[in-house]
Amino acid sequence: MNTRLPRELLLGALLMATTAVAAADPAHSIRAGRTALDANHPQEALKAFQRALDEIAVDPTRYDSDRVAALAGKGYAALWLGNEHQAEYSYRKGLAIAHSEADRKTMAVGLTRALIGVGRPREAYDTAAPYRNISHEAALQAAIAANLLGWNVLGAEDLKDAAPDGAYPGPDWLKALYRYAHSYVQYGLAPKVNVGIHYSSDIDHNINQIYSADVLWPGKLLSDPQLNPTFWQLGYQQTQITDTAGQVGLSAIRGGWSSTLNRNWQYSVNAGIGTSGHWTYGTVDSQLYYTPADSWGLNLGVDRQPIRTFTAVQNHILVNTVDAGGFYRLRNVGTVGADYFHQAFSDGNQRDGVVIKATPEFLSLGRWPVSLGIQGYYRQYHSGVVPYDGYFNPRNYREAIGYLVYVQKFSPYWTLRFYSGFGSQTIDGTTSGVRDFFGTLSGLVAPYCAVSLTGGYSQIANAYGGGPGYHRSYIEANLSIPF
């Protein structure tokens, strides 16, 4: 009997088993991931940390401490690549199994960064808060979340914890992040002058030119002084309307304030007086927000403005709007928002409608600071009477638009958003296809000013015009200068 072959097979099996054990070394994969991070190769690091987690899954109890390290590394690499959802999953899982205070702090700080990236600043602040007095980075991330929530007084205190001497004691990329956060917090607290320009033109030759200037300054009344100051506002707006029927101007002064009552309630009040020739009218623009969590919130708005067409101004037509609604966000799925509105026109017309928006979570594109998303938009209303006083007013109107949304961050200070929309609108039973394109470039020229530029082309009807073949183009520029 030949026993040599079984021995060779046995030796081969032992060799393969030994090789498999050596290969299944999560510590080696973790070291490879850290080396890749040091070499600025986050994609390779992500693969190495995932390989470590796969190896740990073979015997979780044996590699318990390695699992925490692998999850931390994977979360860090995912954040570097802009995949905040994957980072959130890793850090959240790591926080649940971390045993030491140092590991819990690492996971909490990473989770805070991920939550900020996916648009949940309230949860991010609550996650970082327990560690902001013992961790410079936790305090820094808390300040960023506070700024996004409009709690800039709280954010300024967190920045003091992050850099007690005014110089952040960390690596260069965190020092740059500190400067970015400091700029936005200080901008949010500073008095400022806002200047705006709007130009629009449609197929009916209705041209609107709007010029505005407002002064805003902080105060201590009506707001929670530990969160944000009350901002008082005083401004002036000049509107020039031109169409085939003629030309008319509107002038208005306005004043008001915005306030943060507590961590759940915010509101703004803005009212004014406008004139056009011998016509004097009142304007209102007020909003109330209740947002107890990142996942849901409610809003109430009141607005009173003139219709911006020559004929409507000549007929002294104002529209009074009340809207109420809210939003709900399902984690890692998307957000749905809905608003009901009622409009009462000064010519006796009444209008009731609803607006619904559905926005799934955006997709981040690898290592580039680019995100893609989609949004569904639906609007419907019914008007009680159909007079003609110089504004678009069908008895029944419905539109449904699907948007492709492109978002790119050129730096921590500058963001471009572009919407490409295609859909249909139905006007008193007649349906036609429509398109809607618009984009906004916004940023902060720290510490000098904030800039917002918007432009668009739309075939969707609005309060000033509409119907088959209707289209409108517009541009806007806003400059906010702190002083």
DSSP 475: E
Which whole number is the average pLDDT over 238-267?
A: 96
Computed from CA positions of residues 299, 305, 310, 315, in that sequence, does the dihedral angle turn out positive or negative? positive
Give 295's pLDDT tier (boundaries 50, 70, 90): very high
Q: What does the pLDDT read at residue 22?
A: 43
- The DSSP bridge pattern shows strands 334-345 and 279-293 to be unpaired
- Break the chain into its structural domains and give their ranges: 20-188, 192-482
Lookup: tokens for 17 = 């088993």
Cα dihedral 453/459/465/466 (nearest 10): -160
**Which one is the CATH code of 20-188: 3.90.1280.10, 1.25.40.10, 3.40.630.30, 3.30.465.10?**
1.25.40.10
Lookup: tokens for 137 = 């980075």
Quick: pLDDT tens for 334-349. 999 999 999 999 999 9
Backbone angles phi, psi at 361, to 5 degrees: -60, 145
pTM, two decimals, is: 0.86
Give residue 119's region: left, alpha or beta (phi > 0; psi -120 to 50).
left
Which whole number is the average pLDDT over 310-332?
A: 94
Which run of H or E residues covers position 38?
A: helix 26-38
Quick: pLDDT tens for 457-478. 999 998 788 888 899 999 999 9
Q: Tell me if the bond preceding 447 is cis, omega within 30° of 0.
A: yes
Q: What does the pLDDT read at residue 366?
A: 62
Question: What is the residue-averaged pLDDT of the chain?
Answer: 91
What's the Cα-to-Cα distance from 28 to each of 32, 33, 35, 60, 340, rounded to whole Å?
6, 9, 11, 16, 58
Which whole number is the average pLDDT over 104-131?
A: 94
Residue 441 pLDDT > 70? yes
Q: What does the pLDDT read at residue 448?
A: 86
Paired strand residues for 470: none
Residue 92 and residue 87: Cα distance in Å, rounded?
Answer: 8
Residue 129 and residue 109: Cα distance in Å, rounded?
Answer: 10
Residue 283 pLDDT > 60? yes
Quick: pLDDT tens for 50-71. 999 999 988 877 777 789 999 9
Q: What does the pLDDT read at residue 367?
A: 60
> What DSSP assignment string belongs to 215-229?
EEEEESTTS-TTT--
Q: What does the pLDDT read at residue 411?
A: 78
Within 39-151, residue ranges assigned H as helices are 42-58, 64-80, 84-97, 101-117, 121-128, 136-149
Q: How wide is the angle at C-alpha 316 spanned by C-alphas 313 and 321, nearest 5°?
A: 95
Domain 192-482 fold:
Porin (2.40.160)
Q: Please choose, from the candidates 200, 193, 199, the residue with its C-alpha nearest in 3D space to the C-alpha of residue 236.
A: 193
Residue 209 and residue 433: Cα distance in Å, rounded?
Answer: 28
DSSP 14: H
Residue 481 and residue 373: Cα distance in Å, rounded?
Answer: 32
Lookup: tokens for 109 = 């700080």
Which whole number is the average pLDDT over 264-285?
A: 97
Q: Pick the range with the lowest mean pLDDT from 73-82, 179-188, 376-385.
A: 73-82
Residue 443 and residue 448: Cα distance in Å, rounded?
Answer: 11
Which whole number is the average pLDDT over 82-102?
A: 90
Q: What does the pLDDT read at residue 15?
A: 40
Lookup: tokens for 35 = 């080396």
Q: Please choose, from the candidates 76, 77, 82, 86, the residue with its C-alpha nearest in 3D space to the C-alpha of residue 43.
A: 77
Percentage of the chain exceeding pLDDT 70: 94
